[in-house]
Amino acid sequence: MPNFETVEVTTDLLIVGGGMAACGASVEAAHWAKKHGLKVALVDKAAMDRSGAVAQGLSAINQYLGLRDGENTIMDYVEYVRNDLMGVARDDLVYDIARHVDSTVHLFEKWGLPIWPKGEDDPFRVGQYQRGGRWQVMINGESYKIIVAEAAKNALNDAGAEIYERVFIVEPLLDGNRIAGAVGFSTRENKFYVFKARAVLCAMGGCVGVFRPRSSGEGLGRSWYPPFSTGSSAYFTIKAGAEMTCQEVRFIPVRFKDAYGPVGAWFLLFKSTATNANGDVYMQTNAAELEKWGRFGKVKPIPANLRNWLGMMDVTAGKGPIYMQTAEAIQRLAAKYEGDEKAFKKKMKHLENEAWEDFLDMTIGQALLWAACDIQPEVKESEIAAAEPYFIGSHSGASGAWVSGAEDIAPPEYFWGWANMTTVKGLFAAGDASGASSHKFSSGSHAEGRIASKSAMKFLVDNDDVPNVDAAAVEALKEKVLRPMTIFEENKDFTTAEEVNPNYIIPKQYKFRIQKLMDEYAGGWGSNFQTSRALLEKGMEYLTMLREDSEKLAARDLNELMRCWENIHRTLVAEAHIRTVLFREETRWPGYYFRADFPTIDDNWEVFVNSKYDPNTGEWEVFKRDIIRL
């Protein structure tokens, strides 16, 4: 086994991640670092230019209120988020992001992001940008992340900060209930990194790959959410001993089948409808089902999980496939030009280009699949399907750390000194790392990164003490982190085929096991998103065995070492999910998961389900927290 050099980095604030929240945190931290003479370091598993959920690009910014033009109010957005999550949301966190998000979008435009100007066909009467929906503005976004990352890197460099890319953070460093830094390793060099910090901002994204994906063969591993986001935010905060929230809330997006192309522009901008194979619009034919889901079945827009559920009902009834009627939508938009052949052809060509550009901006694989399947969207409909579950706090999910609200708006129960600080002193969370504040998307994640970073800087000014880092604990962590490589070296000659060995398991095999387990017992697509106490308890039994086997993960190189630890991170996310789904004895989010033994919504469960892991004993505590409305 090669020798690993230990590299020590000492800083005041450590930002972990490189996505939208981390970029927002960087811009804000750089400003306050210069003002107060503080040091900042950022470490990212990838490279900031193409890191995070919008790495491939985006065709719309999904959170923009338009406050300066009077398009919406902050409370309008709070009510929208609250209803979409069937009542389970932190009003104060959503409010805090919503009041700041527009300024972040204006920064994007200042930095060079092309935002579509208001068009003549825009159904919205006010504002300066072309709306795709009430909260969305359309962009030319293939280079969205590059533009935002460039601004973040420029700000960090101007403040004399340090940037470490291709370094995978594995474990937190603790001094009692105080964060003291983090450890990880380079994915390119034989280097073990020790980051000592007085405060840490966790922004490592959500989690994919816990459940078996629909894609197989040459598409193995394809997902809607980026495959390199593997639960590191949740793992880091859980292992630090932070209180977590909404770990039972997974998100299942309905997307164009097989290549996971987003459907938002088709529903909102193109005003398309989705039908079953018989041509029935399931949102209309299954509308009576909404009566079963209390007041949330009556709100507009209908919550995302209920929209999913109405489509799933038709699939279960044998009325699939489900189709997005793209041709019908395009024809309808061009209909007013009929009679003027030249104008009609021009409009049709424009709409056809927009249809392809929607994917070329952010999901190139979907454009390739359309071409491979001879699909012309202006001529032929296209299949859509529910994806496998993901764990994200920034979209229509809510999983993440339980964080403090802002002093001026949070109820006393939700405030403990500094906005966006977890229950671990000095550990802050933003983006997919913070929970119960859904629908922040890319712009809101950037804004929340700014909020958390400014708060972390205030924490550093208010607290000048330096946490203790135990050298012996660091050495133990180094041995633990590199152990998969040691296991391989010690046992590789036992068999002639490296992949088959009774003394270890390689990461790909391990991933197949966790995905099969979660799919079959915790309500993946293969079990029609249904589960029950009996299934969950059996799944927990197998997951316990799998965690034991994780001690025998083996890595042949740095890439496999990263894959080993990604799997270990996913496993803790899976355990948190099973435990909290077991605890919540109702079905609150049909379309995300269905408890067959508790098939209805229960007003007594309109609470937060929170959890806490004791890193010293390995014991879990799962409990309720009251929802306090603004």
Q: Flag the least confident range among 300-309, 349-358, 560-569, 602-611.
A: 349-358
Q: What are 483's two structure tokens?
A: 């152990």
Nearest to 622 by CA among 178, 250, 248, 92: 248
Question: Residue 385 in contact with residue 322, Cβ under 8 Å?
Answer: yes
Contact partners, residue 257, CB within 8 Å, separation at least 6: 214, 321, 382, 383, 384, 385
Task: Count the Cβ atoms, other than its own, within 10 Å of residue 216.
Answer: 10
User: What 8-state DSSP symbol labels residue 127?
Assistant: -
Percentage of the chain modeled with pLDDT above 90: 88
C-beta of residue 430 within 8 angstroms of C-beta of residue 19: no
Residue 125: its pLDDT value, please? Answer: 58
Q: Measuring CA to CA, which residue among 234, 162, 168 is closest to residue 12? A: 162
Buried b (16+ CB within 10 A) or exposed e, 254-266: bbbbbbbbbbbbb
User: Which helix (H) or strand (E) covers residue 558, if one does?
Assistant: helix 558-583
CA distances in angstroms from 432 to 120, 165, 190, 207, 548, listed in the order given: 36, 20, 30, 9, 28
Report how far residue 363's alpha carbon sits from residue 223's, in angstroms, rounded to the nearest whole number: 11
Q: What is the pLDDT of residue 19?
A: 98
The confidence score (pLDDT) of residue 135 equals: 96
Mean pLDDT of 249-275: 91
The neighbour count for residue 142, using CB atoms within 10 Å, is: 17
b/e sequence 557-582, b meaning 16+ C-beta within 10 Å: ebebbbbbbbbbbbbbbbbbbbbbbb
User: pLDDT tens digit string along 191-235?
Assistant: 999 999 999 999 999 999 999 999 888 788 889 999 999 999 999
Tens of pLDDT along 382-397? 999 999 999 999 999 9
**The predicted structure's pLDDT at residue 539:** 98
At residue 17, the pLDDT reads: 98
Check pLDDT > 70 for residue 100.
Answer: yes
Digit-coded pLDDT (tens) for 295-321? 999 999 999 999 999 999 999 999 999
pLDDT at 118: 86
Question: Side chain identity at 622, as an amino acid letter?
Answer: V
Gap between the Cα atoms of 491 and 402, Å rounded: 42
Q: Are 274 and 322 in contact (CB under 8 A)?
A: yes
Task: Kindly give the interhelix angle for 91-111 and 74-84, rounded to the nearest 10 degrees.
Answer: 120
pLDDT per position as a tens digit, 462-473 = 999 999 999 999
Phi, psi of 178 (to 5 degrees): -120, 130
State whether residue 90 is helix, strand or coil: coil
pTM for the model stands at: 0.97
pLDDT in tens, 138-181: 999 999 999 999 999 999 999 999 999 999 999 999 999 999 99
Could you read off the pLDDT of 327-342 as tens digits, one per residue?
Answer: 998 988 888 888 888 8
164, β-bridge pairs? 43
Residue 120 has pLDDT above 70, yes or no: no
User: Cα–Cα distances in Å, from 280 out to 308, 327, 329, 386?
Assistant: 15, 16, 15, 18
> What is d(CA 343, CA 203) in angstroms, rounded to the nearest whole number?
48
Residue type, position 574, single letter: A
H-run or E-run covering 11: strand 5-16
Q: Is 591 left (phi over 0), alpha (psi -120 to 50) or beta?
A: left
**Cα distance between residue 12 and residue 196, in whole Å:** 8
The predicted pLDDT at position 337 comes to: 86
Residues 6+ apart with CB under 8 A from 456: 13, 25, 29, 199, 201, 418, 420, 421, 426, 428
Confidence class of residue 352 from pLDDT cuts 50, 70 and 90? confident
Closest residue by Cα to residue 231 from 253, 208, 247: 208
Asked if 13 contacts 456 with a C-beta cutoff of 8 angstroms, the reply is yes
